[in-house]
Structure 1
């Protein structure tokens, strides 16, 4: 561990049966607080494909009005191998249907209006020509 660096370690297996949803709130809080302080936040797992991506997608969904698929496309714009396992995808779908609105409200009550322009930046990422071509390709699959 590095001195002066804050860590949040979440023990979780990359298994479709792993309940990652129970870690969403603490992960969202940690990421958001880092960003509000103007600090970077490294979210990683062994391969950077499934677990970490799922937590980042949940964060993006909470700070924007994006559903899980648009949030995934946003992540893939920077990390093309991003691919939550099917169990995590189902958890993100359930989060979108049943919980994300409560999380958005909680975040606003906890931190007030955000000075970050997340929705605008995410839309700009999705609007770049390369991403649009990639997205069109994915929809054909």
Structure 2
């Protein structure tokens, strides 16, 4: 686990420990405006940062997949960075990152986890989380992907309406 934030995909970051989530200069340098924090004592730390805090240990995360996916996607739609972190940056946060990548790419969990591991070799969700990713792929992925696409189209439509209003 290195002392730097790992870029998984552009404007989307994965890291361990909340020390990085407290470094204002590092966050600013990466244009990080959103932090998804998942650990037992998850709580907002800095002002001017949007937080999704999930107070959870290494147990079921599927209940948090949709909210996490939408939170990450909100930052990406704005062209801003999102830091996803847990305590070690190995299991909990990686699981949510993989679920997000599955949703926006339509790829399976095995392929998405391999992509995360290419950027962060220590990524290794526990066996329970791997089962949850498989369950998500088989039962909820298509529905959540449609919801993300609907949000994209809604944002594009709102931007188009604003552009048309400014032309008049």
TM-score by length of 1: 0.76
- 1:77-107 Cα shifts (integer Å, max 9, x gaps): 1100000000000000011111101111111
Q: Is residue 77–residue 152 contact of structure 2 (8 Å, CA) maintained in 1?
A: no
Could you list the structure 1 runs, at least 4 aligned residues long, displaced by more than 2 angstroms after superposition: none
Asked whether the equivalents of residues 94 and 123 of structure 2 are also in contact (C-alpha less than 8 Å), the reply is: yes
- Equivalent in the alignment of 2:65: 24
Between structure 1 and structure 2, the one with the greater Rg is 2
Q: Does 1:77 align with 2:118?
A: yes
Give the match for residue 32 of structure 2.
none
| Bigger strand share | 2
**How many residues in Structure 1 have an aligned counterpart in Structure 2?**
112
Q: What aligned pairs does 1:48-59 form with structure 2 within 5 A after superposition?
A: 48-59=89-100
Unmatched tracts of structure 2, length 5 or more: 1-44, 157-168
Q: Which residue of 1 aligns with 2:55?
A: 11
Q: How far apart in 2 are the matches of 1:107 and 1:85? A: 27
- Bigger mean CA deviation after superposition, 106-115 or 91-100: 106-115
Match of 2:102 among 61, 68, 74: 61
**Which structure features the higher share of helix residues?**
1
Q: Secondary structure at the match of 1:112?
A: helix
Of 77, 81, 88 in structure 2, the residue corresponding to residue 36 of structure 1 is 77
Helix, strand or coil at the partner of 1:53: helix
- Distance, in Å, in 1 between the alignment partners of 2:61 and 2:126 is 11
RMSD of Structure 2 on Structure 1 (CA): 1.6
Taking structure 2 as the reference length, the TM-score comes to 0.64
Quote the offset at 1:111 in angstroms. 2.5
Instruction: Report how far residue 71 of structure 1 moved.
Output: 0.5
